[in-house]
């Protein structure tokens, strides 16, 4: 369930913080250079494993959000809508582009704007993609700019796709 995943992800984040603390302790201790190097290598290996596991949780969140957004966008397209806005939480700017691409693959005639709030980073990320037929009426860079202007953010791109952030 999602709750268990959240707990596991939080535990992984705590483990990562502990690894960083241990690395600082190793750096500060008085011991042979050989032993320090060995300990650093082991900590780096564990950190890589933890980061990989955290990445899997992030990918699961993206996949779940994308599946829901694709369903909602398909319903909007079926109603004759020309654009679709999806609001998300906790996804960063890098995660929005593949999500929007999945939504547009399912409803290629829709202009799509994804907005994600990352409360921890106190940032808002925005990504828009607009099909050729709508680019004159709704250029992606103007759409993103209009959203971010209200939040003091910045963005850039072209009529086909644009992105930006604030915070």
Identify whether the C-beta of residue 130 lies closer than 8 Å to the C-beta of residue 160: yes
| pLDDT the model gives residue 140 | 96
Q: Which element (helix H / strand E) includes 164?
A: strand 161-166
What is the pLDDT, as a whole number, of residue 100? 92
Token duo for residue 87: 């609001």
Q: How high is the pLDDT of residue 88?
A: 87
For residue 63, what pLDDT is reported? 84
pLDDT at 57: 85
Low-confidence ranges of the chain (pLDDT < 50): 1
**Does this model's pTM top 0.85?**
no
């Amino acid at each position: 369930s999602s709750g268990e995943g959240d707990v596991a992800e939080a535990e992984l984040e705590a483990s990562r913080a502990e690894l960083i603390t241990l690395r600082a302790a190793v750096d500060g201790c008085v011991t042979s250079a050989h032993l320090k190097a060995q300990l650093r290598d082991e900590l780096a290996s564990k950190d890589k494993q933890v980061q990989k596991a955290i990445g899997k949780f992030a990918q699961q969140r993206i996949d779940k959000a994308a599946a829901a957004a694709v369903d909602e966008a398909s319903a909007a397209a079926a109603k004759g809508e020309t654009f679709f806005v999806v609001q998300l939480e906790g996804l960063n700017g890098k995660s929005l582009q593949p999500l929007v691409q999945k939504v547009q693959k399912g409803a290629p005639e829709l202009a799509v704007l994804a907005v994600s709030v990352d409360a921890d980073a106190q940032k808002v990320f925005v990504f828009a993609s607009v099909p050729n037929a709508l680019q004159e009426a709704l250029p992606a860079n103007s759409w993103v700019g209009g959203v971010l202007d209200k939040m003091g953010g910045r963005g850039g791109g072209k009529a086909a796709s644009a992105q930006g952030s604030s915070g």
